[in-house]
Structure 1
Amino acid sequence: MALSSNCWKYLVLTFNLLFAMSAVVLFGMSGYLLYRLFIYRHFIGVGVEYPAILLLMLAIITCSIAWIGWRTAKSMHQIHVIIAGLLVMLIVVIEFSCFVWAMVVWDNIEIDIKTTMTSYFLLTKENKEASVDSVRWDRLHVKFECCGVSGPNDYSSAGHVPFSCCGQGPLDSIQKPYTSDCTTLYQRGCGNLLHDYAKQHLLLVAMVALAASLLQVRTLILHILPVV
């Protein structure tokens, strides 16, 4: 039985409301996960962030499509509603592709992070003067209670280990003398810890993308039913 025009209109408006709500949630979660990966981009590489960036962009586009759908539903132009539905289908496909992409990056992240961290570590050691790179390593050491990439032996060629390897970091963002002598070194390296950290957040990105695509498939069915 065909739905009345008012019933069809309210169903589509309901769809767009749910769609907009999912976009807001998606924006918040993808933005948070992107930030958590972005702050360690020098150690894990920017490639790890790309699935989260795509997810954030999809959230913004989804908000736009929800607004278009709301406008077209109010005007009762069925062809416009169908076009909006096709755009939603495209978003769902891209979100599922983002899930697959995040899982592929998740599966290959160990080699990428180890290579990136080692290159960045060597670059920092070559800079003999105090720099923002050494401050980043200090903060990483203190945050994760680790030292170097594989352990304190990474600093053997330098002849000294930074005091951040026992929890003593610089006094502020500008490199300054350390506050005390280091007596107990962190023995674990930062490589494995950053690897686990990145894998955990990438898995969350993948799960958010999958959940968003499944949720929007359900609301898409609500959008299509009145048309058929």
Structure 2
Amino acid sequence: MTNAWTQCSLEPQKPPSRTRRMFNYLHASTQCAKVLLISMNVICILLALFTFGFAVVDTRILKTYGEGQAAGTLVGDLVVIVASLLLVCVAILGCAGTIKNSIKILYLYVSLLLILVLLEIMIAIYVSLQRYGLQFMLSESLREDFFRNYTGEVKITRDKVWDDLQITYECCGLNGADDYAAIGQPISLSCCQRAYRARTANAQQQMYNSCLQTASYFRDGCEDAILDMLRADADYLLGVAVLSFWFESVCMLLALLVANQLKNAVSVYKHTVKY
């Protein structure tokens, strides 16, 4: 009797079923949160890479308008490029902390992501102001350049610039083909895309005459076409900033949730082992 009682008292007791259920629940919920956090970080990385590529292309486009006029906007694009690279690095850090179950790395990730969110908000405001300012400056510059009376080599250079603009943006004149009549010049050849791209002078002239007779030249003015493009770029950057803000906010909440669940899982595990 005594030996049986002693043997029973020395055997380790099984942990309570409620504690085991709590541990299993924490483990399952932590795994779900980790998968979701990694998925959100992957989306943030893809979003940052797309923004990086957009900013690089936009920088090249803005240089065509002159670095003097677009200087502030170019700086904004460079800042966007740096912020995109930082977001990629921070997202990778978050994935590493999630995979390694490192509470310290997750807290560091949340801190860096919070700083990055605040930085992105300031960048979005700065880029928006600079881009709207560029629209006004560019509109004034286009008007002055189109209606100014150039001669000699300067006129050839100006005409080449406008030919490139009209072919690139499929536009004609400042606000339309009628602007050429206002400055006493025939409609530019580059307003007729097929004629401008013709290989021989004879074919070019025939297509140009046909273009004028059928009024098949570009209808939109270059001012509206260029400003619409700049507005679309500004809207894209603002949209990306808002989208990034929500994704990054969700990532921060998930990271805090995972870190807290890991801490709770450790406490529950210690409590289970104790029993």
Q: Which runs of 5+ in 1 are unaligned?
A: none
Distance 1:145 1:62, change over 3 A: closer
Pairing partner for 1:189 from 213, 221, 224: 221
Amino acid of the structure 2 residue aligned with 1:169: Y
Answer whether contact 1:148 1:154 (CA < 8 A) is retained.
Answer: yes
The normalised TM-score by structure 1 is 0.72
Is the CA contact (8 Å cut-off) linking 1:99 and 1:207 kept in structure 2? no
Match of 1:166 in 2: 192
CA 1:142–1:92 in structure 2 vs 1: closer, same or farther (change >3 Å)?
A: same
Letter in 2 for 1:219: C
Q: Which AA in structure 2 matches 1:98?
A: I
Q: Give the Å deviation of 1:207.
A: 0.9
- 1:19 aligned to 2:37? no
Q: How far off is 1:163 after superposition?
A: 1.1
Cα displacement string for residues 151-195 of structure 1 (whole angstroms, at most 9, x for unaligned residues): 5646876856531133343558xxx96922453565753112211
Distance 2:196 2:59 in 1: 22
1:218 and 2:250 aligned: yes
Deviation at 1:203, TM superposition (A): 0.9
Match of 1:39 among 42, 61, 73: 61
Q: Which amino acid aligns with 2:196?
A: G
Deviation at 1:134, TM superposition (A): 4.6
Secondary structure, aligned partner of 2:241: helix
**Residue in 1 that maps onto 2:237:** 205
> Structure 1 residue 101: deviation in Å?
2.9
Larger Rg: 2
Distance in 2, Cα, partners of 1:155 & 1:5: 76
SS where residue 43 of structure 1 aligns? coil
Q: Which residue of 2 aligns with 1:99?
A: 124
- What is the aligned-residue RMSD (CA, Å)? 4.1
Q: In structure 2, what is the Cα distance between the partners aligned to 1:198 and 1:68?
A: 34
Identical residues among aligned pairs (%): 13
Residues 16, 136 of structure 1: CA spacing in aligned structure 2 closer, same or farther, 3 A cutoff? farther
Partners of 2:106 and 2:34 in 1: CA distance: 8
What's the offset of the Cα at 1:116? Answer: 4.2
- How far is the alpha carbon of 1:62 from its aligned partner? 1.6
Question: For 1:71 and 1:146, how far apart are their aligned partners in 2?
Answer: 50
- Please give the TM-score of this superposition, normalised by the length of structure 2: 0.62
Asked whether the 8 Å contact 2:180–2:186 carries over to 1, the reply is no
Match of 2:171 in 1: 146
Report which stretch shifted further, 108-117 or 143-152. 143-152
Aligned length: 224
1:83 maps to 108
Which of 96, 120, 129 is the aligned partner of 1:71? 96
Deviations 1:8-53 (A, max 9, x none): 5774564244213222133225524653574354238534455454
* Uncovered stretches (5+) of structure 2, i.e. residues with no partner: 1-21, 261-275
